[in-house]
Structure formats: structure tokens, C-alpha cells
Amino acid sequence: FGLGAGANFPQNNINNVYDAGFNANAQLGWDPVGSPVGLRLNVSYNQLNGRRDVLTTQPGGTQITSDLPNANLWSAFADTKLRLPFGRFLGATSGVYAVGGVGLTQFRNFQTFQGTTGINPGGSVVNFDPNGGRNVTRFAINGGGGIGWGIGPTTLFVEGRYVRVFTQDRATDFVPVTIGLSFH
């Protein structure tokens, strides 16, 4: 099992309305001895920080300022892990790895955007909830890689993944970069 935390970077259209946030995750995996292939369940919390939106109206140049709330994303992924070991220290193996899989992401505090640059009017970057105010869960895929340095029963890892959530109108993409510890 493992625990990690780090930064979360919005990608593509969602980057127009959210700034980088943070992530935290817990992992439960199975890496058979002597096999390069393992399995992992990854549960994570990702936050995207809402930007301050300044709208200038015409005529007169009146400015309207609004702060978008932070978006909270809860995800669970079933991943396959492909490892390439490169050394042993105190009985632990270090190495690089690729990881990818499928899962679900639940959005809380998501926003719909109308007339925002780069977004179709009435469209949505994060999600669209015609009933307003309820949480929405969508199918997602992820892929990425990392490096781990093993010392005894512990491995220090750094990992980056690209996450695509299949939201209405267009996909929502973000990149969590995590540093953490796994225990064998």
C-alpha cells in the first residue's frame, strides 16, 4: 500500500477557468515477485483552484469580479503497472514504471460556464448539471509513469499521470504529480 500527495495541473479548456491545485491519494497494489506486471487500486482527491473572473461591461467599463469556487474531484482507478527494476538496496528494488487504467471521477463544486473565452455558450468545461447542485460521477481513464527508490520495506516514489474524464460537451483533463511512500 502507499500514500502520496502533490500538485494537480488543469489541462486544455479547463485551464481557462481553474489554476493548479493539489492532490492526495492512497494506493493498494499487488506486485508479484519476479514479474514486471502488477495491479493497483488508486483512490485520490484532487482540487482545482477557482480563478478570479473579471468581466468588463460596455459602455462605461464597469468591472464585475467573481471568484470561482474550487472544484473537488474524487477518483478511483483500477490500474495495471509495468515495472522495469534497476537496482536493489537493503532488500528493496528500485525502478521506473508505467501505469494506466480505468475508473470513475466524482465532481463536487463543479461549474458551468456561459460565454467564457474558448468555451461554447451553454457548454461546460468541468460538467453540466441541468438540475443544479448535485454531485456527478463520470467514467475516466489515466496513464503515466513514475520512478521509485526502494530502501528496505519502503519505496519513495514520484509519479505523474494524465487523467481524462469523459464529461458532457468535452472531456475534462488534469495532471496530478505525486510524491509518496509505498510499503511492502
Query: Alpha-carbon distance 152 to 41, whole Å?
Result: 23
Average pLDDT, the chain: 82
Q: What is the pLDDT of residues 100-114, one digit of tens each?
A: 999 999 988 665 544
- Name, in order, each residue with C-beta under 8 angstroms of 93's C-beta and a sequence gap of 6 or more: 85, 87, 150
Lowest mean pLDDT among 13-17, 67-71, 123-127: 123-127
Q: Is the pLDDT confidence value at 118 over 50?
A: no
pTM: 0.80
* Mean pLDDT score, 134-154: 90
Give the rounded percent of residues in the chain with a pLDDT score beyond 70.
75
